[in-house]
């Protein structure tokens, strides 16, 4: 439920409770006023059965309404408890406590009040009171009866005396009148009247009686007396106080005649009032006695009504207090539930007292902070997601590029563990992708390869290095070009390395094949050159030998000279080739390059006028482990070619310096240079651009450099000429061999 709705409902409840209390108060006041007023009402009205009936039903309706409201509250409470609504148990306990606390005294009060009321009512209608009232009524009636009887006797006697008079005759009437007057005086009655049938004849009043006028006797009285012999009435005399007691009688009290005499006695006001009060009191008593049961029921219902009202007020008070206590807690619970389900905009807006309001404020502040934090997190998450997507895209691009590379790429961390590897590297190094991640690369390779790679990876060179190494892969030796690129770390230090590996095995094999093919072609060519003069000389000898008698001495001698010379050339060629083929491996020794270079350069200094020879060795280069003789031969071959190619004035220079983990030997000239198309061929055996020589000089240079695990390349010199750069590993002294 919405908090605003709850708040509104609570407000409505409070108003409803206040209105109900006010209504109850008004009703109680009205009932009290009615009861008080009832005591002043005429008994005839108060004891009116319809009024009691209405009161009873009003009571019943009120009781039913209260019972309904009470039952509704209790059923609602029971349902809330069954559904496990928050606070239902607390509400139940509070309402039960309130009802329990009020029930015992209210029931006790109800019981004792009922008993008291019944006792009081029974005392009202006690036998003694009834007897007294009945006696009073009897006395009053006896007084009337006595007077009426006396009047009747007098009336009967007078009627008997007048019976002889002819009332149709005026004289008779006069005589009858005189008798009436005398009779009134004799009896002391206040009124004497004569009737002839239904007709009124004459009446005599006592002037001292207080009767101001002749009362209306009516015809019923004399008619009844004529019919039955006697009749009586009690009248209120006109213009006078008291009661007029009349008695009518036929002559002698015998029915059947026409003549009727009525005698009346006026009861004095005091006596009349007292007797009347006695009669009325008894009548009222009888009325109340008849309605005694209804009174009891009505009062009992009133008590039941009050009892139920108190119980209702108790339960309502309990519910009201429970609701007042539970509303903020329910609001908290609801807000907690919403917050836990992700609605951090939830705020509690319940009007609470001082203690609760601080808790409410704290909760609202907390949800506000949570909401703000979540917004920040969501914004960061969006940015992070974007960044991740960008990174993923870049990574996918890099991965695609890496996978498309023919070269193998292996990324290593600072400890040499594999971070990433592309398919080409896996294929080259015979690795399986699922097994390499996080493992040191050197441990994944065969034992023969470890030493080679460890040497490269554990070097101190932070910058890029390139090496050509051979190690066994899958049981066969293969040659790789390995380039190592350091990965920059967060503090500009190396965080790892990237190895770019190219398998040169097939390329080298192809190069070797091509080299040997070219060498074979050149050897064949060189061999074929002397064979032609030899064959020609041999054919000339054969021709001369077939000519009988011809002088063959000079021809033979000349042909044999040709054959011997050409064979000698062939011998020289074979020797050179044999030497090239049999060139021994390098005999490493600690070599100081400074004297070596100076010595070789000194051989060519002043050899060609105008061509200057310069030599420079980096100071502090120290001794390097190389074969000094082979290095000397390399330098001689290179300087020989450089000096020959350089025209005066020119410069040929030799420089040696350290370059990372290697030593660079550069021989530069200012000669005619080497065309780019010839640069791939100049290191092939028997290739010569000079038109003389064996064509094995640069091939020997290449061989020596390769045997030293080095590399040589040829570049253009600036502004002209050629530079041969040789890179040799800057090896220190080898470790002494241990064991066998």
Binding site for another protein (CB under 8 A): 44, 47, 49, 52-53, 56-57, 137, 141, 233-235, 243, 275-276, 279-280, 282-284, 286-287, 289-290, 293-294, 297
Q: Least distance (Å) from another protein to the CB of residue 89?
A: 39
Q: Cβ closer to another protein: 293 or 459?
A: 293
Query: Minimum Å distance from CB 305 to another protein?
Result: 14
Min separation Cβ 113 and another protein, Å: 18
- Quote the least distance from Cβ 287 to another protein, whole Å: 5
Q: Report, in angstroms and rounded to the nearest whole number, the Rg of the chain calculated over CA atoms.
A: 77
Q: Which of 44, 392 has the CB closer to another protein?
A: 44
The least CB distance from residue 159 to another protein, in Å, is 21
| Shortest spacing between CB 269 and another protein, in angstroms | 14
Between CA 276 and CA 268 the distance in angstroms is 12
Angstrom distance (rounded) from CA 330 to CA 323: 9
Minimum distance from residue 340 beta carbon to another protein (Å): 57
Q: Decide if 161 contacts 179 (C-beta within 8 A).
A: yes
Pick between residue 32 and residue 57 the one whose CB is nearest to another protein. Answer: 57
Task: Give the nearest distance from C-beta 350 to another protein in angstroms.
Answer: 48
Burial class of residue 656 (count of CB atoms within 10 Å of its CB; 0-12, 13-18, 19+): buried
Shortest approach of another protein to residue 53 CB, angstroms?
5
Parallel/antiparallel/unpaired status of strands 611-617 and 650-659: parallel
Nearest to 534 by CA among 509, 507, 500, 565: 565
Choose between 47 and 465: whose C-beta lies nearer to another protein.
47
Closer to another protein by CB, 215 or 685: give it. 215
Closest CA to 127 of 278, 289, 284, 294: 289
Least spacing, CB of residue 297 vs another protein, in Å:
6
Q: Which is nearer to another protein, 286 or 483 (CB)?
A: 286
- ∠ at Cα 739 (738, 740), nearest 5°? 130
Interatomic CA distance for residues 278 and 284, integer angstroms: 10
- Our CB check for another protein shows the closer of 222 and 695 to be 222
Residue 144 or 630: which CB sits closer to another protein? 144
DSSP 8-class letter at 262: E
Indicate the SS3 state at residue 69: helix
- For another protein, which is the closer residue by CB, 53 or 112? 53
Compute the least distance from the CB of residue 172 to another protein, in Å. 33
Among candidate residues 254, 197, 196, the one with its CA nearest the CA of residue 229: 254
Nearer to another protein, 272 or 601 (CB): 272
User: Which of residues 279 and 698 has its CB atom nearest to another protein in the complex?
Assistant: 279
The closest of 325, 499, 341, 524 to 421, measured between CA atoms, is 499
CA dihedral 9, 10, 13, 14 (to 10 degrees): -140
On the question of a cis peptide bond just before residue 376, with omega within 30 degrees of 0, the verdict is no
Q: Is 737 strand, coil or helix?
A: coil
Q: What are phi and psi of 569, to 5 degrees?
A: -60, -40
Q: How close are the terminal C-alpha atoms of the chain, in Å? A: 93
Shortest Å distance, C-beta 357 to another protein: 54
For residues 654 and 724, give the distance between their C-alpha atoms in angstroms, rounded to a whole number: 10
Whether residue 333 contacts residue 101, with contact meaning beta carbons closer than 8 Å, is answered with no
Question: Is 270 exposed, middle or buried (CB count within 10 Å of its CB: 0-12, 13-18, 19+)?
Answer: exposed
- For 18, 62, 738, the CA distances from 68, given in Å and listed in that order, are 19, 10, 111
Identity of the residue, 295 or 577, whose beta carbon is nearer to another protein in the bound complex: 295
- Evaluate the omega torsion of the peptide bond into residue 31 and state whether it is cis, within 30 degrees of 0: no
Does 649 sit behind a cis peptide bond, omega within 30 degrees of 0 on the bond before it? yes
Compare residues 180 and 245 and give the one whose CB is closer to another protein.
245
Strands 418-421 and 465-473: unpaired
Residue 198 CB, shortest distance to another protein, in Å, is 17
Closest contact distance (angstroms) between CB of 60 and another protein is 8
For 455-565, where are the E strands, in sequence order?
465-473, 476-488, 494-503
Q: How many CB atoms are closer than 10 A to CB 104?
A: 10
Query: What's the DSSP call for residue 585?
Result: P
Give the span between the Cα atoms of 583 and 627, in whole angstroms: 13
**Cβ nearer to another protein, comparing 279 with 418:** 279
């Amino acid at each position: 439920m919405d908090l605003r709705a709850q708040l509104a409902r609570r407000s409505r409840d409070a108003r409803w409770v206040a209105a109900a209390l006010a209504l109850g108060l008004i009703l109680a006041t009205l009932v009290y006023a009615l009861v008080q007023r009832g005591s002043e009402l005429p008994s005839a009205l108060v004891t009116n059965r319809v009024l009691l009936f209405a009161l009873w039903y009003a009571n019943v309706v009120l009781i039913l309404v209260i019972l309904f409201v009470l039952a509704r509250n209790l059923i609602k409470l029971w349902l809330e408890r069954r559904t496990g609504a928050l606070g239902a148990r607390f509400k139940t306990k509070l309402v039960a406590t309130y009802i329990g606390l009020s029930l015992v005294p209210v029931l006790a009060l109800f019981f004792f009040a009922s008993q008291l009321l019944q006792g009081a009512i029974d005392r009202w209608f006690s036998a003694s009171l009834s007897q007294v009232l009945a006696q009073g009524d009897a006395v009053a009636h006896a007084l009337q009866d006595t007077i009426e009887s006396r009047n009747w006797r007098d009336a009967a006697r007078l009627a008997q005396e007048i019976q002889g008079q002819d009332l149709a005759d005026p004289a008779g009437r006069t005589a009858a009148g005189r008798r009436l007057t005398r009779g009134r005086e004799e009896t002391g009655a206040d009124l004497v009247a004569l009737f002839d049938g239904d007709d009124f004849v004459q009446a005599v009043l006592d002037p001292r009686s207080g009767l101001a006028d002749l009362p209306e006797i009516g015809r019923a009285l004399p008619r009844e007396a004529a019919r039955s012999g006697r009749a009586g009435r009690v009248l209120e005399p006109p213009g006078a106080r008291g009661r007029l007691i009349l008695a009518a009688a036929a002559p002698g009290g015998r029915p059947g005649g026409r003549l009727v005499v009525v005698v009346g006695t006026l009861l004095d006001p005091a006596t009349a009032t007292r007797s009347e009060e006695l009669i009325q009191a008894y009548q009222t008593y009888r009325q109340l006695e008849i309605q005694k049961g209804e009174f009891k029921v009505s009062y009992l219902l009133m008590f039941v009504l009050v009892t139920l009202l108190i119980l209702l007020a108790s339960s309502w008070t309990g519910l009201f207090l429970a609701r007042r206590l539970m509303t903020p807690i329910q609001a908290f619970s609801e807000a907690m539930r919403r917050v836990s389900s992700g609605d951090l905009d939830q705020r509690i807006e319940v009007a609470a007292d001082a203690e609760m309001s601080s808790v409410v404020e704290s909760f609202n502040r907390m949800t506000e902070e949570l909401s703000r934090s979540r917004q920040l997190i969501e914004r960061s998450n969006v940015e992070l997601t974007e960044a991740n997507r960008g990174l993923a895209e870049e990574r996918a691009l890099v991965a695609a590029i890496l996978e498309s590379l023919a070269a193998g790429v292996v990324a290593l961390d600072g400890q040499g563990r594999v971070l990433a590897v592309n398919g080409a590297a896996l294929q080259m190094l015979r690795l399986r992708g699922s097994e390499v991640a996080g493992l040191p690369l050197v441990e994944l390779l065969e034992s023969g390869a470890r030493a080679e790679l460890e040497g490269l990876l554990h070097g101190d060179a932070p910058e890029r290095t390139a090496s050509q190494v051979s190690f066994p892969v899958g049981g066969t030796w293969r040659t790789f070009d390995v380039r190592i690129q350091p990965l920059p770390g967060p503090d500009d230090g190396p965080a790892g390395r990237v190895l770019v590996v190219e398998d040169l095995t097939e390329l080298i094999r192809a190069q070797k094949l091509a080299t040997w093919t070219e060498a074979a072609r050149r050897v064949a060519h060189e061999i074929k050159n002397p064979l032609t003069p030899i064959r020609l000389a041999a054919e000339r000898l054969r021709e001369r030998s077939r000519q009988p008698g011809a002088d063959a001495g000079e021809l033979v001698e000349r042909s044999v000279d040709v054959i011997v010379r050409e064979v000698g050339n062939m011998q020289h060629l074979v020797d050179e080739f044999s030497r090239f083929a049999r060139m021994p491996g390098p005999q490493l020794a600690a070599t100081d390059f400074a004297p070596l270079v100076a010595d070789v350069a000194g051989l060519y200094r002043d050899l060609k006028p105008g061509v200057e020879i310069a030599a420079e060795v980096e100071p502090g280069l120290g001794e390097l482990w190389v074969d000094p003789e082979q290095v000397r031969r390399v330098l001689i071959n290179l300087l020989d070619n450089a000096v020959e190619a350089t025209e005066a004035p020119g410069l040929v220079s030799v420089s040696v310096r350290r370059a990372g983990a290697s030593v660079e030997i550069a021989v530069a000239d200012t000669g005619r240079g080497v065309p780019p198309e010839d640069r791939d061929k100049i290191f092939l055996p028997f290739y010569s651009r000079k038109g003389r020589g064996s064509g094995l000089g640069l091939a020997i240079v290449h061989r020596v450099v390769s045997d030293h695990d080095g590399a040589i390349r040829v570049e253009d010199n600036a502004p002209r000429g050629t530079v041969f750069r040789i890179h040799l590993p800057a090896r220190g002294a080898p470790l002494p061999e241990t064991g066998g």
